[in-house]
């Protein structure tokens, strides 16, 4: 299971509540079609987000961040990210805490449907 950068405060999955129904103060749908859903996430300083799920997605951090993810089994991981950092993330379930005194913001591009396995460069 992959960990992602700060600002991932989603209570929305393909199987769960839509973002604006779950935690509207954290998430705004910027664009959606049959292939992707683009979300803008915002977390205030020291905010905590309960356990939630994500489908596979790409994340672009708009701000520097510092946060802690907790998996369902209690495993935790602290992460620091930089503005402009981009990452690929497998489907996952976690809770999140913003450990920073600053707000964090990112964009997520959630992929709908089956995701093909990544190919290694030759």
Chain-centroid distance of CA 93 in Å reads: 10
Spatial distance between the Cα atoms of 109 and 111, rounded to a whole number of angstroms: 6
Residue 4: per-residue pLDDT:
41
Residue 116: per-residue pLDDT:
66
Residue 18: per-residue pLDDT:
40
CATH of 19-111, one of 1.20.1070.10, 3.40.50.300, 1.10.760.10, 2.60.120.10: 2.60.120.10
pLDDT mean across residues, the chain: 81
Please report, for the chain, how many H helices and E strands are present, in that order. Answer: 1, 9
Tell me how far apart the terminal alpha carbons of the chain are, to the nearest angstrom: 25
pLDDT in tens, 44-99: 999 988 888 889 999 999 999 999 999 999 999 999 999 999 999 999 898 889 99
* Cβ atoms 97, 49 nearer than 8 A: yes
pTM > 0.95: yes or no = no
């Amino acid at each position: 299971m992959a960990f992602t950068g700060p600002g991932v405060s989603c209570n929305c999955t393909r199987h769960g509540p839509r973002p604006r129904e779950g935690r509207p103060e954290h998430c705004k749908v910027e664009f959606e079609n049959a292939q992707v859903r683009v979300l803008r996430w915002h977390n205030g300083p020291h905010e905590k987000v309960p356990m939630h799920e994500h489908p596979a997605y790409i994340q672009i951090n708009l701000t520097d961040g510092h946060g802690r993810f907790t998996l369902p089994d209690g495993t935790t991981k602290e992460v620091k990210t930089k503005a402009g950092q981009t990452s690929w993330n497998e489907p996952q379930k976690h809770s999140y805490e913003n450990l920073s005194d600053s707000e964090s913001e990112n964009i997520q591009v959630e992929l709908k449907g089956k995701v093909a396995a990544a190919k290694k460069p030759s």
